[in-house]
Amino acid sequence: MPIELMGGLDASATTAPRQLTTAHGLRIAVEGVGKIYGEGTKEAFEALKPTTIDITPGEFVSVVGPSGCGKSTLMLMVAGLLKPSAGVILVGAKPLTGALTDVGIVFQDHLLLEFRTALDNVLLQGVIRHLPLPPVRKRALELFERLGLAHAGDRYPHELSGGMRQRVSLARALVLSPSVLLMDEPFGALDALTRIQVRHDLEQLWMVDRQTVLFITHSVEEAVGLSDRVLVMSPSPGRVVEELSIDLPRPRPVALGEEPELAAYSKRIYDHFARLGVIHR
């Protein structure tokens, strides 16, 4: 899907220019949304049971669950890239009827274009939307500075480490100051130390801009370390079986394992997975 390469762009986004705006976050309401793949055929299977979630403006919400439980399916439906089989999704106060445009999307694969420099990959968002490029460039350079990429703007993806490529992907998602940020296992391909640093970078950026974030991850500690609230999903067909509000001060520690309060939240989630038979002790 071309939209994946652009971090949330669709064809309609190119029909008229728009101005850069400051992100304030939008409410996301998922009301009875379910998904059946191959509906009406012998091969049909239910990926996500009807699910209701309310994410307040500027809230950071993570979804954790076993592989195949419908986490990514949920995110793709919130992005407007996948049509629900049931229910409705509201972004702001409006039903979502197509691809969401006021959004930044980060996938596990950085999806950078190899023939464009790091900076040009980020500026492509403005090019496609026909925006005046000077303010887009200014914002991109600010993000590069905050993400430790100030020296890397003229490098090509193959000249960057995995962590740097994912930071460029994050800058691309944030360059137009979207109100919504959707992330699907964005750190899954990174080594442990790089993953810790990029997680910390993300929190620092989010604390300034306060987008509404839906973050998909397999990492319980990562979810607890980043989130205001964690949604725990059951095995397939997925459903939300637990919600935990993470009542801890920010910024969260870089080394999450050193904090007993964070460990206690993680244990509650692991205990729930044990009861579901996801993990065996």
CATH number at residue 34: 3.40.50.300
| pLDDT, greater one: 74 or 11 | 74
Burial of 11 (0-12, 13-18, 19+ CB in 10 A): exposed
76 closest CA partner among 84, 66, 86? 84
Q: How confident is the model at residue 191 (pLDDT cuts 50, 70, 90)?
A: confident
Q: pLDDT of 250-267, one tens digit each? A: 999 888 777 888 999 999
Q: How confident is the model at residue 188 (pLDDT cuts 50, 70, 90)?
A: confident
Query: Is 50 exceeded by the pLDDT of residue 233?
Result: yes
Length of the chain: 281
In a domain, 158, yes or no: no
How far is C-alpha 102 from the chain's CA centre? Answer: 13
In a domain, 242, yes or no: yes
| pLDDT, greater one: 192 or 12 | 192
Query: Is 70 exceeded by the pLDDT of residue 248?
Result: yes
Count of structural domains within the chain = 1
Q: Residue 141 corresponds to which amino acid?
A: L
Give the C-alpha separation, 276 to 239, whole Å.
12
In a domain, 209, yes or no: no
Q: How far is CA 266 from CA 64, 78, 241, 263, in A?
A: 11, 26, 15, 5
Please provide the average confidence, as pLDDT, over all residues in the chain. Answer: 87
Question: Which of 159-163, 181-185, 190-194 has the lowest average pLDDT?
Answer: 190-194
Give the C-alpha separation, 199 to 196, whole Å.
5
Model pLDDT, residue 57? 95
Model pLDDT, residue 109? 82
The SS3 call for residue 267 is: helix
Mean pLDDT within 82-111: 92
Model pLDDT, residue 153? 95
Model pLDDT, residue 4? 31
In a domain, 193, yes or no: no
User: Can you give the pTM of this predicted structure?
Assistant: 0.88
Model pLDDT, residue 111? 87
Domain that holds residue 236: 20-102+217-281
Give the C-alpha separation, 227 to 244, whole Å.
10
In a domain, 266, yes or no: yes
Query: Tell me, what DSSP letter sits at residue 238?
Result: B
Q: Confirm if 136 and 121 have CB atoms less than 8 A apart.
A: no
Model pLDDT, residue 268? 92
Mean pLDDT within 24-46: 91
In a domain, 166, yes or no: no
Question: Which of 170-179, 184-193, 221-230, 243-252 has the lowest average pLDDT?
Answer: 184-193
Give the C-alpha separation, 184 to 274, whole Å.
24
Q: How confident is the model at residue 14 (pLDDT cuts 50, 70, 90)?
A: very low
Give Cβ neighbours of residue 193 (< 8 Å, ≥ 6 apart): none
Model pLDDT, residue 18? 38
Mean pLDDT within 101-130: 92
Q: Confirm if 211 and 27 have CB atoms less than 8 A apart.
A: no
Query: Is 80 exceeded by the pLDDT of residue 24?
Result: no
Query: Tell me, what DSSP letter sits at residue 253?
Result: P
In a domain, 111, yes or no: no
What b/e string do you get for 139-158 counting C-beta neighbours within 10 Å, with b at 16 or more? bbbebbebbebeebbebbbe
Query: Is 60 exceeded by the pLDDT of residue 7?
Result: no
Query: Tell me, what DSSP letter sits at residue 262?
Result: H
In a domain, 30, yes or no: yes
Terminus-to-terminus CA distance in the chain, angstroms? 41
Query: Is 60 exceeded by the pLDDT of residue 126?
Result: yes
Helices of type H across the chain: 2-6, 71-78, 118-128, 133-146, 162-174, 192-209, 220-226, 260-276
Model pLDDT, residue 108? 83
The SS3 call for residue 98 is: coil
Model pLDDT, residue 253? 86
Model pLDDT, residue 105? 94
